[in-house]
Chains A and B, each alone.
Chain A
Amino acid sequence: MSEPKIVGFLCNWCSYAAADQAGTARHAYPENIRIIRIPCSGRMDPKLIFKAFQEGADGVMVAGCHPGDCHYTNGNYYARRKLALTRQLLEFMGVEPERMRFEWISAAEGNRFADVVAEFTREIKELNAETPLKREAVTR
C-alpha cells in the first residue's frame, strides 16, 4: 500500500508554531503530512476538508489554539462548531472517523504535535479502505 497522504491545516499562531518547534527540537514525525498554514482555525472552512479528500487526501487534520487562547480571541469557538458539524456530516456519509483529526495544540506543545501526527498517520495506515470522495482519474 502506498504511503497515505495527510493534509494538516494549522493555525499560524499556535499549531503551526508547534510544528515549527518540533522541527527545531529535531523531534521527528512522519512525512505523510502536508501542512497548510491558515491565519486562525476560525478561517477553517468545511469545504476545504471536502476538497482535501477530493484531491486525494487520506486524512485531514485541523489544529488551532486552545479555547480561550485564540490569537483573534474567538476564532476557535466558531471553528469548534463548524468542525463538529463537518465530522457529523462526513461520518454520516460513510467517511471513517479516523480520517479526521481535530486538535487544540498550543505553540509550546511541539512534542505533542509530533506525537499526534505520528498517531494519526498510524491510524490512517491501519485503515484498509480506499480514500473516500476522491476525484476520478483522467484517462487518456
Chain B
Amino acid sequence: MNSEKLKDACMKALDDGAEYVLSYVEGYDGSHPQAARITKQNIDSVIFDEYCGFSLPALLKNADKSKKTGIVVKPCDSRALVVLLQENQIKRENIKIIGVECKGVKDRKGKDDSNCKGCVTHKPVIYDYYAEEEGELSTDRGDFEDVAEFEEKDYEERYGFWEEYMDDCIRCYACREACPLCYCDECIVEKTMPQWVDFSVKPSSNWMYHLIRAFHEAGRCVNCGSCSRACPKDIPLMLINRKMASAVEDMFGFVSGMDIQKMPPVITLAKDDPDDILKGGMGHGVQDRELEATS
C-alpha cells in the first residue's frame, strides 16, 4: 500500500487526540514487520503490506485503556474491534480507528495465507479514518471449502489427523497471545481451583486446551488467522475455528464482528431453534447477506 495515505490517516488520528497509533513498521528485513507506537516523531516508519499479518488489536490487551489510542486495522482486525466493543473491552471514545483495505496476507513461511481465501470482507467494517488499497478489491465473500473438504474424512481419519497435531503441540500459547479476542486475565488453562486442564504438555491435556479454546472462539473468531500463523508447530488451528464459524453461521445466521448491534448466539437464546441441531442437523439455512461496512 502506498504509505502516504496511511501516514495521513495516522497524522489525523494523532491530531484528533490519540496519544500514539499502534501500527506496523519495518522489521529486520522486508518480510517481518513489527508493531510500533507511532507518534509524530516516527510517523515516517509506518508501513502496510502483505506481510502485515499479525493482529494489532491483540496488543490492546496490555495497553493502558484509559489513554486514547490510535490503531491500524485490517478488515478482519476491525471486526475484532467490533467484538471487543461488544464485550466492553475497549471504549469507543478512547480508540481512533484507522481502517485499511486488504487483499490478503502472507503466512509465516512467506506464502499467501490460505486462510485469507475465507475472508468475509476486504473492507474494514468500523473506522474513523480510511486508507484505500491500490487496484481492484474483490467483493466476493470467501467460502468454507476447506471445512467441507475436511468433513469428507470419516471419524477415524479425523481423529487420527488431530491426534498427530495434539502430539505436536508444545503449549507455548502463542495462539492465545496472538489472538485479539483471547484477553482473559486468568485463562482457564491457568486456573487451579478447579483445574480444568493439566499444565503438563501431554496429548490429552493439549486436546483439552484446544477444544476449550475453539469453543471460546465459537461465534467470536474473526478469521484473522493470527493463531495459525503464530503456531511454531504449524497446527492448522484456523481449520477448527473456521469450522465453528461455519456451524454458527449455518445454524444461527450469525457472522461475528459485522454488526455491533447483533450479539453472538452463544450468549443469546432463541425459543425457535430447531431441535435437529442437537442431533447434528444445521437448522436454519445460510442466508445471503449484504455485508456492509458500519462506521
Q: How large, as a class, is the contact surface on chain B?
A: 35 or more
Which stretch in A5-13, A18-26, A47-55, A115-123 binds the other chain? A47-55
Q: Which residues of B contact A46 (CB under 8 A)?
A: 211-212, 215
Q: Is residue A112 contacting chain B, with contact meaning CB distance below 8 A?
A: no
Q: Is residue B28 contacting chain A, with contact meaning CB distance below 8 A?
A: no
**Roughly how many angstroms separate A77 CA and B277 CA in the complex, as a whole number?**
12
Q: Which of B158, B202, B203, B214 contacts A94 (CB 8 A)?
A: B158
Q: How large, as a class, is the contact surface on chain A?
A: 35 or more
Interface residues of A (CB under 8 A from B): 46-47, 50-51, 54, 67-68, 74, 77-78, 80-97, 102-104, 129, 132-136
Name, among A78, A81, A95, A134, the residue most crowded by chain B CB atoms within 10 Å (CB to CB): A81
Q: Which of B155, B160, B215, B252 contacts A96 (CB 8 A)?
A: B155
Q: Which residues of B contact A94 (CB under 8 A)?
A: 155-163
Q: Which of A50, A85, A102 contacts B218 (CB 8 A)?
A: A85
Given known contacts A77-B273, A89-B218, A50 and B266 CB-to-CB distance under 8 angstroms: no
Q: Which residues of A contact B174 (CB under 8 A)?
A: none
**Roughly how many angstroms separate A102 CA and B271 CA in the complex, as a whole number?**
17
Are A74 and B269 neighbours in the complex by a CB distance under 8 Å? yes
Q: Is residue B260 contacting chain A, with contact meaning CB distance below 8 A?
A: no
Q: Is residue B35 contacting chain A, with contact meaning CB distance below 8 A?
A: no
Smallest beta-carbon distance B167→chain A, Å: 11
23 pairs from A and B in contact (CB 8 Å cutoff):
A46-B212, A46-B215, A50-B211, A67-B275, A68-B271, A77-B270, A78-B269, A80-B278, A81-B251, A81-B269, A81-B273, A82-B266, A85-B218, A85-B247, A85-B251, A92-B158, A93-B158, A93-B240, A94-B157, A94-B159, A97-B279, A133-B211, A136-B203
**Roughly how many angstroms separate A28 CA and B208 CA in the complex, as a whole number?**
35
Q: Which of B156, B202, B247, B273 contacts A129 (CB 8 A)?
A: B156
Q: Hey, what's the 0/1 contact readout for B261-273 against A, CB within 8 Å counting as 1?
A: 0000110011101
Q: Which residues of A contact B212 (CB under 8 A)?
A: 46-47, 50
Are A102 and B151 neighbours in the complex by a CB distance under 8 Å? no
Q: Which residues of B contact A91 (CB under 8 A)?
A: 155, 280
Are A84 and B218 neighbours in the complex by a CB distance under 8 Å? no
Main secondary structure of the interface of A (DSSP, over half): helix
Smallest beta-carbon distance A2→chain B, Å: 19
Q: Is residue B173 contacting chain A, with contact meaning CB distance below 8 A?
A: no
**Roughly how many angstroms separate A133 CA and B269 CA in the complex, as a whole number?**
30
Q: Hey, what's the 0/1 contact readout for B56-85 against A, CB within 8 Å counting as 1?
A: 000000000000000000000000000000
With both beta carbons as reference points, the residue of chain A lying nearest to B209 in the complex is identified as A50
Q: Is residue B243 contacting chain A, with contact meaning CB distance below 8 A?
A: yes
Q: Is residue B204 contacting chain A, with contact meaning CB distance below 8 A?
A: yes
With both beta carbons as reference points, the residue of chain B lying nearest to A62 in the complex is identified as B278
Inter-chain pairs besides A81-B270, A135-B204, 7 sampled, C-beta below 8 Å: A46-B215, A54-B208, A85-B247, A88-B244, A88-B247, A89-B244, A89-B247
Are A133 and B215 neighbours in the complex by a CB distance under 8 Å? no
Name, among A47, A88, A96, the residue most crowded by chain B CB atoms within 10 Å (CB to CB): A88
